[in-house]
């Protein structure tokens, strides 16, 4: 069933989710990192630096910097492609999956509070 929101309600929901995420003290991701993380977990793999750069319309170094930070957080992992050593495959992690599950639950909770 589609959810019908006004622009104001949608922004209010995003505001509440953002506030709760910051208050929780969880991993603090940039919008770019969120977009990368959601793409990795919602779009079927494989995911490469080159592919993510093309999808987001940015350069490979931009993706690499984001992945470096996200790797330090443990929410993604990178491995060399055994078939083509020039490619780096981006892998999902349990920490990343749990982060997104919790984030999804937060969105649901805040969405239920919309008036």
CATH of domain 7-112: 1.10.10.10
In terms of Cβ atoms closer than 10 Å to its own Cβ (0-12, 13-18, 19+), residue 51 is: middle
The span from the CA of 29 to the CA of 38, in Å, is 12
pLDDT at 115: 61
Residue with the bigger pLDDT between 97 and 114: it is: 97
Where do the domains of the chain lie?
7-112
29-88 pLDDT per residue, tens: 999 999 999 999 999 999 999 999 999 999 999 999 999 999 999 999 999 888 888 888
Please give the DSSP secondary-structure letter assigned to residue 34: H
Name the pTM for this structure. 0.87
79-92 pLDDT per residue, tens: 988 888 888 899 99
CB atoms within 10 A of CB 34: 13
pLDDT at 68: 96
């Amino acid at each position: 069933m589609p959810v019908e929101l006004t622009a104001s309600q949608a922004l209010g929901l995003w505001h509440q989710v953002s506030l709760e995420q910051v208050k929780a003290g969880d991993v603090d991701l940039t919008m770019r990192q969120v977009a990368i993380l959601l793409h990795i977990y919602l779009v079927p793999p494989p995911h490469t630096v080159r592919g993510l750069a093309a999808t987001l319309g940015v350069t490979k170094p931009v993706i690499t910097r984001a992945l470096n930070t996200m790797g330090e957080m443990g929410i993604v992992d990178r491995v060399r492609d055994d078939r083509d050593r020039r490619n780096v495959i981006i892998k999902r992690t349990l920490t990343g999956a749990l982060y997104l599950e919790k984030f999804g639950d937060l969105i649901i909770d805040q969405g239920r509070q919309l008036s």
